Amino acid sequence: MTTQLRGLAVLLRDQRALYAIGAAFVAIGLVATLSYPMLVKRLIDEGVLAGHMSRVNELALLLLGLLAAEGVATVVRDYYFNLAAERLTMRLRQSVFDHLLSQEIGFFDNRSVGELTTRLWDDVTVIGRVVGEPLGAAMRFALISALGMALLVYTSPALTLVLMLAVPPIAVVAWVLGGRVKTLSASTQQAYAEAGIVAEESLGGIRTVRAFSQEPAARARYREKLTAAVETARRRILANSARGGVSFVVGEAAALFGLWAGANLILQGRLTSGAVISFVLYGLLVARGLRRASEFWGEAVRGLGATQWIFEMLAREPRMAVGGGMRLARVEGAVTLDGVRFRYPTRPDADALAGIDLHVGPGEIVALVGRSGAGKSTILNLLLRFYDPDEGRISIDGHDARILDPAWLRSQIGVVLQEPVLFSGTIADNIRFGLAERSDAEVAAAAEVACAREFIERFPAGFATPIGTRGVQLSGGQRQRLAIARAVLRRPRILILDEATNALDSESEAFVHQALLALDYGPTTFIVAHRLSTVINIGRVLVLDRGQIIHSGRHDELLRTSPVYRQLIETQLAVR
Ligand code: ADP
């Protein structure tokens, strides 16, 4: 709670200029509001009761002027408060997003993208709703209550005492129900995030859902999650309304009681009727002020409940930094693994790698083969430093990878992962992917190596063809070829291909492989191979089984010496 408040305070301070202007207009509006009852009193006592028509007119005109001033002050106040809130939520959303981007890969293993995006959107919005207009209004009402109270005492101390009776009940109710509202709103946010997961999974996997005719099931799961969310929301709303209702009744009842007691005082001749009317008006202002301030407190508490996740997220230090560390002037591309053991953080009971020793010289090409789950992709994940080994070490040109700057290291590695991801933008943007300075000729040459140039140039817009929703739909093989072009354009010293060509037909696959193996500058290359045609030409094939390298050698040697390899050839590596 305190971290949340402190976090919120920092955000508010960032927007202090806008809030200061807003607050100034809160003050202006306040002067107008609090002057009314005073002027009404004088209008009655000095004008009506004294029988001065001109005084009545004067004071009525003054009241009209105050009304106009208050109107202007309200508009300006709301404008600045809402603008501040909008900017504040933008900053907050941006920093949560930045923070998510900098988390280590293991963080994303047990979180769904649907949950993260829903929270990034919803939780931040809830804060935004509190710190805009409502914050301005709350400030106003809190001040009205405080100043109104002073004016009440000034007008009639005895009556004020009567009115004060209403304060403790309101405070207690706000306190008790407020706590409940806060817990319930945190669970509501969580419930909506879970619904977000379902939506994201079903829409993200729409083809699978459709192919298995699982729309009704998806619908039912979504409805179930939403219903659960609405149920927690309902309880929150109930608590919130109860608080509003109780403070309304208690507050207004006190004002009525004040009216009754005031009437008595007039009849006893101890107060003027103008004073009583002005007192009742102040009393209503104070009651409304307290009520609105407590409503705001409810909203604020609800907002704070929703911020719990956000500030926890912002406080989370990534286990592995994205950047920072040593950079080598030149990379030869020698890669060594010494006794590397690794378990995924989400599966701490199973060895993904159970002791790997491997040296790959600069420019060498090795293929990794093995049954699914043998650990091939895991080796590549560790080379990319998506994770660090639990034991042993990985070194690049003799330097422990842990002391190297991870971002720099990754910039030396070109990678094509199993399922290439393309982003919105043109084909050329996707091949460049951050390397904006590369010329069109370089992009085209990279596409050539990946056997992608031909199909790209067949599109009317060529390399400028937009990808995704508005643009072309690409086949799996075409996406892979773009991903290969993306990796090649970077001319990385180390090239990683994880089943990078499995969606290509065997003819283009052979072409791509030839081109990759013949890259003029000879990068160290790791290929997760799945076809016999790939491994036949490779100098060293490593056979993995249950997280260990059990054999290594050329294809024909392995056929003789490794039963596991023979079996793989028969059953898993596609012979084409
Ligand atoms: P391969 O690439 O050879 O098919 P992997 O390296 O992907 O095998 O997997 C090795 C082992 O690690 C498997 O048992 C797999 O279930 C597990 N594994 C892979 N990725 C993850 C992950 N992100 N979280 C937890 N376990 C994983």
Asked if the model's pLDDT at residue 441 lies above 60, the reply is yes
Asked if the model's pLDDT at residue 1 lies above 70, the reply is no
455-472 pLDDT, tens per residue? 899 988 889 888 875 445
Whole-number pLDDT of residue 40: 84
Whole-number pLDDT of residue 576: 47
User: What is the mean pLDDT of the segment spanning 423-441?
Assistant: 87
- High-pLDDT (> 70) share of the chain, %: 98
Torsion of CA 221, 227, 228, 233, to 10 degrees: 150
Whole-number pLDDT of residue 511: 73
| Ligand 1 probe mutation, 107, 344, 353, 527, most atoms within 8 A of CB | 344
Closest CA to 547 of 336, 342, 338, 335: 342
**Looking at the domain assignment, is residue 475 inside a domain?**
no
Model confidence band, residue 574 (pLDDT cutoffs 50, 70, 90): low
**Looking at the domain assignment, is residue 98 inside a domain?**
yes
- High-pLDDT (> 90) share of the chain, %: 31
Q: Give burial (CB, 10 Å; 0-12/13-18/19+) of 269.
A: exposed
**Ligand 1 atom 19 nearest Cα:** 378
Q: How far apart are CA 493 and CA 413, in angstroms?
A: 6
Whole-number pLDDT of residue 2: 73
**Tokens 């101390």 found at:** 157
**Looking at the domain assignment, is residue 456 inside a domain?**
no
Give the nearest ligand 1 atom to 106 CA. Answer: 23
179-238 pLDDT, tens per residue? 888 888 888 888 988 898 888 889 888 888 888 888 999 999 999 999 999 999 999 999
- Single pTM value for the model: 0.76
Q: How many CA atoms lie within 13 A of 307 on its CB side?
A: 28
**Ligand 1 atom 15 nearest Cα:** 373
Cβ of 377 less than 6 Å from ligand 1: yes
Cβ of 349 less than 6 Å from ligand 1: no
**Looking at the domain assignment, is residue 152 inside a domain?**
yes
Q: How far apart are CA 441 and CA 435, in angstroms?
A: 13
Cβ of 344 less than 6 Å from ligand 1: yes
**Ligand 1 atom 17 nearest Cα:** 352
Asked if the model's pLDDT at residue 311 lies above 50, the reply is yes
DSSP β-ladder status, 524-528 and 365-370: parallel
Q: Which domain holds residue 263?
A: 2-187+237-315
Which of helix, strand or coil describes residue 144? helix
**Looking at the domain assignment, is residue 405 inside a domain?**
no
Cβ of 213 less than 6 Å from ligand 1: no
Asked if the model's pLDDT at residue 108 lies above 60, the reply is yes
Q: How far apart are CA 372 and CA 114, in angstroms?
A: 28
Cβ of 380 less than 6 Å from ligand 1: no
Whole-number pLDDT of residue 127: 85
**Looking at the domain assignment, is residue 300 inside a domain?**
yes
Whole-number pLDDT of residue 153: 86
Whole-number pLDDT of residue 383: 93
Cβ of 375 less than 6 Å from ligand 1: yes
Which of helix, strand or coil describes residue 532? helix
Cα 392 from chain centroid?
A: 35
Closest CA to 102 of 405, 388, 322: 322
| Ligand 1 probe mutation, 337, 351, 378, 498, most atoms within 8 A of CB | 378
| Centre of ligand 1 from the C-alpha of residue 243, in Å | 52
**Ligand 1 atom 12 nearest Cα:** 352
**Looking at the domain assignment, is residue 214 inside a domain?**
no
Ramachandran angles phi, psi of 546, nearest 5°: 45, 50
Q: Domain containing 140 — which CATH number?
A: 1.20.1560.10
**Looking at the domain assignment, is residue 11 inside a domain?**
yes
Please state the domain count of the chain: 1
| Centre of ligand 1 from the C-alpha of residue 315, in Å | 29
